[in-house]
Each structure stands twice: as C-alpha cells, then as structure tokens.
C-alpha cells in the first residue's frame, strides 16, 4: 500500500476503508476484518458512527501488527469544548481498545472547535493520538481555527470527487502542506 507523508512526519495510507452507517455488534467487525484481509490498512470510524468497538475488535483479531494498521476516528459536535473533548478522546481509545489513534479529527466545523482542538493537541503530546485534523472544514472555518492552533492540522477530510472538486480548498490546504483526504471520492453514484 502506498502512503502519503503528512506535515507532522507521519504517513497515511492512500486508500482507506470507512465504516459510516455500518452497524456495531458484528457487522462492522466483520466488514473491517474482511477489509484488512484484502489489504486495506486505513480504517475510518467516528464516535458518531457508534461502531468504534467493532473496529477495535477487528484490529485486535486481525493478526496484523498494530503499527501496520492506521485507525482514524472523529470527535462529534456534542463533545466539543476542552473538557468534553478530553473525555471523548479517552472514550474512543477505550472503545477501540487501542493505546493510540493514528488520526483524530474534529468531525464538523461548528461549536467550540478551539477548545476541542486544544484537547486534541494535548492528546498528541500525551501520545494518545499521532496526527490531528479536521473534517468538513471549508476555507472560511479554517481561517477562524488556524490562528488558535499550536499544532497545525495534518489532514482535512472533505467530500471531494470529479463532481465536487474543491479547487479553492485544495489550493488553500496546499499553502500549508495540509493533506486533503476525500470522502465520496467517486461521487454519490447518483449522477
């Protein structure tokens, strides 16, 4: 699997497997297990997906060394703010059953993103998270958050595909050497 370098001297696999809308308590574990057997090494979940525990079970049962599997999770809006974010990061680690999360994202650009970001930075310094970033943040939202960062985001996960190319955002991210990670990279299959 090919990897991209990130600004924080880590790498991220080029292709990943997401578990949005896959139910917990079996189906996610099975899907992730199959994905790992087929060669996927990036697994993307989120607190809001409510399936972090199944992702963790599949990672543990895979027989693949933890260092070879890249796990992404995301903090949801109700957990923004410094104190709430700290608790949720620990909750994600516990549900996943992991010592660290490779990439942890602010899932949406609303609410106390600055407080949540501070908690993410603290978790990086504590070794709980390797890389931090955001999801669904446009230029407008990034302009507000960037001045409040001590650790620059490594990734912005956004919808990006041939039908929605995000040219302005990609140019903005390139100025800071921030990677764009696409969700719906082939579009919604509705065109």
Q: Which residues are catalytic?
A: 49
Distance of CA 179 to the CA centre of its chain: 12
Under DSSP, the state recorded for 119 is H
Written as one string, the DSSP assignment of 32-78 is HHHHHHTT--EEE--GGGT-HHHHHHHHHHT-S-GGG-EEEEEE-GG
Contact between 3 and 12 under an 8 Å Cβ cutoff? The reply is: yes
Contact between 44 and 17 under an 8 Å Cβ cutoff? The reply is: yes
**How many whole angstroms separate alpha carbon 106 and alpha carbon 92?**
13
Sequence-ordered list of residues with C-beta below 8 angstroms from that of 102, at least 6 positions apart, any chain: 10, 12, 70, 71, 72, 129, 130, 131
């Amino acid at each position: 699997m090919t990897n991209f370098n990130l600004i924080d001297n880590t790498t991220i696999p080029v292709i990943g497997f997401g578990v949005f809308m896959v139910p917990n308590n079996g189906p996610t574990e099975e899907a992730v297990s199959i994905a790992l057997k087929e060669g996927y090494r990036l697994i993307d979940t989120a607190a809001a997906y409510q399936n972090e525990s199944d992702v963790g079970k599949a990672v543990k049962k895979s027989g693949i060394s933890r260092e070879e599997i890249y796990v992404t999770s995301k903090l949801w809006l109700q957990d923004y703010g410094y104190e709430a974010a700290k608790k949720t990061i620990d909750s994600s680690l516990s549900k996943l059953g992991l010592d660290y999360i490779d990439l942890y994202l602010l899932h949406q650009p609303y609410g106390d993103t600055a407080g949540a970001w501070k908690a993410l930075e603290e978790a990086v310094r504590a070794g709980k998270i390797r890389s931090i970033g955001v999801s669904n943040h446009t230029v407008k939202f990034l302009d507000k958050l960037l001045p409040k960062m001590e650790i620059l985001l490594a990734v912005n996960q956004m919808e990006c595909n041939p039908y929605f190319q995000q040219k302005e955002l990609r140019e903005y991210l390139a100025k800071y050497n921030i990677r764009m990670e696409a969700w719906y990279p082939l579009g919604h299959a509705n065109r």
